[in-house]
Amino acid sequence: MSIVSLVIAISIGAPPQLSDTRNVLERFEDAGIQTQGRDPFAGTGLCGASLPVRVPSDVYYVSLPPRGFNDAHLRLLRRFPHLIQVRCKRPVTEAEHELIESNVPTGAWLLYDIRLDDGNLKQRRSFRCGYRFADEDVNGDGIIDEDDGEIRDSANGG
């Protein structure tokens, strides 16, 4: 039996690897990470249950538990192309924040605080990946403030 035939025979009988879409969702579930699908009534003023999640492209919301997730889970966030929100029930470390920010789509809402390396808490409960608050008067009221909104930050992934 040639080496090529052996490799083909092994790959046919091999179990699915990490590329298996169900495996990603199972790993999240095993770690206590909650995933939710999109809200079919979003923007209409109506309230409805989120759609079920069957494959990674169904995931729109991720809720990280206080413990039980690791860096490998955060890297898997890139497998969710429609992700619009990541929440965490505890402050994340700076390293975890950088991993989350580099693995979610631009514009995704990040809802958590950040525990700085010096132990201080940076309260940034709601911000969007790849955006920053405008540092110029965008709305023309003569004041530079949060009412000027957010703009895409080309220096940080926007």
Chain segment 91-104, per-residue pLDDT in tens: 999 999 999 999 99
Stretch 114-119: mean pLDDT: 91
CB 85 within 8 A of CB 62: yes
Distance of CA 120 to the CA centre of its chain: 24
pLDDT of residue 18: 43
pLDDT score of 64 more than 90: yes
Sequence-ordered list of residues with C-beta below 8 angstroms from that of 74, at least 6 positions apart, any chain: 96, 99, 100, 103
Burial of 100: CB neighbours in 10 Å, binned 0-12, 13-18, 19+: buried
* pLDDT given at position 1: 59
Q: Measured between alpha carbons, how far is 16 from 58 in angstroms, rounded to an integer?
A: 20
**Better-predicted residue by pLDDT, 48 or 106:** 106
pTM of the model: 0.67
